[in-house]
Amino acid sequence: MASIPPFFTDVLLRYATSILLLLATTFVGVFLADVLFSCGLHKKIGRPLGPLLKLARLPKKLSVPMITGVIDSRAEHAIVSSLVKSGALNHREVVCYNLVALPFGGSRMTIQYVLPVAIAGLGLFVGAVYVTLSVIGFFIGMAIGIIGGRFLLTKEREDIVLDDEVRNEKIDVRWSLLKAAFMAKSVGIRYVIVVMVLLLLTYLGVFDYLKNLSMPLAKAFFVSTEALPITITYALNPMAAILMAGELIREGVVAWKDALIALFVGRIIFAVISEFPRHSFPFYVSMYQSKLALKLTLALILYIFISTPLLMLVVKALPLA
């Protein structure tokens, strides 16, 4: 009997853990959100976010997933997906929300995962600058979402909270559990299908071929020859690129500004050839309809292409040499 190739064994084990976490967080997120909506507690929890949501013409009910996103993005999108399926949200609102909510989950993940590596690799000053600019990038995304909401969403949808669902209704725990289980099952099936497609594409070398395109793309963004290895490495592994940038700065091979610019250019390449096709889009497809998942991914690509050049300009404008 033929054995399973090590490549598939390793990947399947990694995705098995991911799908278990996805199912657990989806179930818990949808269940808790349904309970909160049923008793009207979302009004109190999300009250501080009311002005922000109103500015973007988004329903106040989105305050619950926005706060949840600070803890876990899977549970956040499970809640939003549940609202889409119930007819409470349309596609434009979900796209605008996804951009407006970027600083909440994005900042937490940056501080949790990027900050320690950036400080260790780049040093306290350069690392702090890199992390600060990365967080500022999320707020640029928020601004894009707000502007999109002002132009794309109608005023009539501004204050919809689905009060008929929360008006003195008794909490039905059984219904909430069934709703959460159904949602987790739906997400799990989609995720397994997406993983199988990803495994096939990876095995065929499609993503390796895309990574080979990173060098001409980096040159197109005018990255210096000395800093080019940082950009190429970022396209393969962002954390390794940060550590490499730190070493090149300490050795005097590149100036810290050139290193940061190389990291941000690598961010664009990594997002387009790896993050979005291998992570973001498959995740969205597991949560939403394919059409909406594509819209969310394209919105994030637009955000990256707008925010990253702005961050690079900030680096160039910094007064310290």
Q: Where are the domains of the chain?
A: 6-317
Cα 60 to chain center, whole Å? Answer: 21
Specify the pTM.
0.72
Q: What is the pLDDT of residue 271?
A: 83
Phi and psi for 104 in degrees, rounded to 5? -75, -65
Question: Would you write out the chain's pLDDT as a tens digit for each of its 321 residues?
Answer: 445 555 556 655 666 666 676 677 667 766 766 666 566 555 565 677 888 888 999 988 888 888 888 777 877 888 898 888 888 889 999 999 999 999 988 887 887 778 877 887 788 899 899 999 999 999 999 999 999 999 988 764 544 444 344 444 455 677 667 767 776 776 666 666 656 665 666 666 655 555 555 556 555 555 666 777 788 778 777 877 888 788 888 878 788 988 999 899 888 888 887 777 777 888 888 888 889 999 999 999 899 999 999 999 999 888 765
Q: What is the pLDDT of residue 139?
A: 96
